[in-house]
Homo-oligomer: A and B are copies of this chain.
């Protein structure tokens, strides 16, 4: 859009095809007014991998995800998806190739659970029978059988139930790229573990690519093929999970330290 991005675009196509990254952030910076939210953020995501973003609250994880599906555009630098800059994509086409699970589900309050899940297939004009089957299948997978929950409205669900509907909705049209923003954040650990296992199976079956924001380091290690740690809008560490376990940068170590046993084992009992 501005000078730097158009300068880079010369090398864009060749560079992109050379590495065949599905998503690549090229020196992305984003400012909201005075505030600098992302600073010289560069990262490539390869087909089939699950890149986990870790980072403190406010470090810019959600912002980074939003640049991928053209909800936000870099102030400088550029984001390429399938080798093409998000500014050059038809935004609608781009977004329909990307499933996006938003923190707080973002369900449509005036649609039932089933209608919410059916949104993208309906936009893509799938045959009604296919949509119905797909909705039933997905709701089953997230543990919310369509018979029981399909006809309810979002405000008749518990918080975790809403999140699961949000996950089902993002998966509905089978997009090749998935953006997950704390998708399992409000799920109880039992349900969560089930969904995590399903996620891994799915990935192996369909070779889906995903960028996954989580606050749970165990989840990051379980699901991520690579892990990036954000600190105030910059990448402090990025590497495969084995390397992450041995990372020496301070922020990465701070996150790893959260894996250590808590004091409850040692603290004197109050009860």
Question: Within 8 Å of chain B (Cβ to Cβ): is A175?
Answer: no
Q: List the B side residues contacting A163 at CB < 8 Å.
A: 57
Q: A193's contact among B59, B222, B241, B258, by CB below 8 Å, is which? A: B258
Q: Closest 6 A-B residue pairs measured CB to CB? A: A57-B160, A240-B271, A189-B258, A58-B158, A221-B264, A56-B188
Q: A62's contact among B159, B164, B218, B221, by CB below 8 Å, is which? A: B159
**Contact between A190 and B56, CB atoms less than 8 A apart:** yes
**Contact between B271 and A242, CB atoms less than 8 A apart:** yes
Interface stretch, picked from A72-80, A121-129, A179-187, is A179-187
Kindly list 19 other residue pairs between chains A and B, CB separation below 8 angstroms, not including A57-B164, A160-B215, A240-B269.
Answer: A57-B160, A57-B187, A58-B158, A58-B160, A103-B186, A159-B182, A185-B186, A186-B186, A187-B215, A188-B255, A189-B216, A189-B255, A190-B255, A190-B258, A192-B215, A218-B264, A221-B262, A241-B264, A242-B271
* Contact mask for chain A residues 148-191; partner B; CB cutoff 8 A; 1 contact, 0 none: 00000000111111011000000000000000001001111111
Q: List the B side residues contacting A242 at CB < 8 Å.
A: 269, 271
* Contact mask for chain A residues 254-271; partner B; CB cutoff 8 A; 1 contact, 0 none: 110010001110000111
Question: Within 8 Å of chain B (Cβ to Cβ): is A55?
Answer: yes
**Contact between B271 and A57, CB atoms less than 8 A apart:** no
Q: A217's contact among B59, B189, B240, by CB below 8 Å, is which? A: B189
Secondary structure at chain A's binding surface: helix, strand, loop or mixed? mixed
Question: Within 8 Å of chain B (Cβ to Cβ): is A9?
Answer: no
- Please, how many angstroms separate the alpha-carbon atoms of A164 and B270 in the complex? 27
A-B CB contact pairs (8 Å), 28 listed: A56-B160, A56-B188, A56-B190, A57-B186, A57-B187, A57-B188, A58-B157, A58-B158, A58-B161, A59-B188, A62-B159, A104-B104, A185-B185, A185-B186, A186-B215, A187-B215, A189-B215, A189-B217, A190-B255, A190-B258, A192-B215, A192-B258, A221-B262, A222-B262, A222-B264, A225-B271, A241-B264, A241-B269
**Nearest CB in chain B: distance from A209 CB, A:** 12
Question: Within 8 Å of chain B (Cβ to Cβ): is A226?
Answer: yes
Q: Which of A103, A160, A242 has the most CB of B within 10 A?
A: A160
Q: A188's contact among B54, B103, B187, B191, by CB below 8 Å, is which? A: B54
User: What residue of chain B has the Cβ atom nearest to residue A218's Cβ?
Assistant: B262
- Please, how many angstroms separate the alpha-carbon atoms of A270 and B242 in the complex? 10
Given contacts A58-B160, A104-B159, A158-B58, are A271 and B226 in contact (CB under 8 A)?
yes
Q: List the B side residues contacting A157 at CB < 8 Å.
A: 58
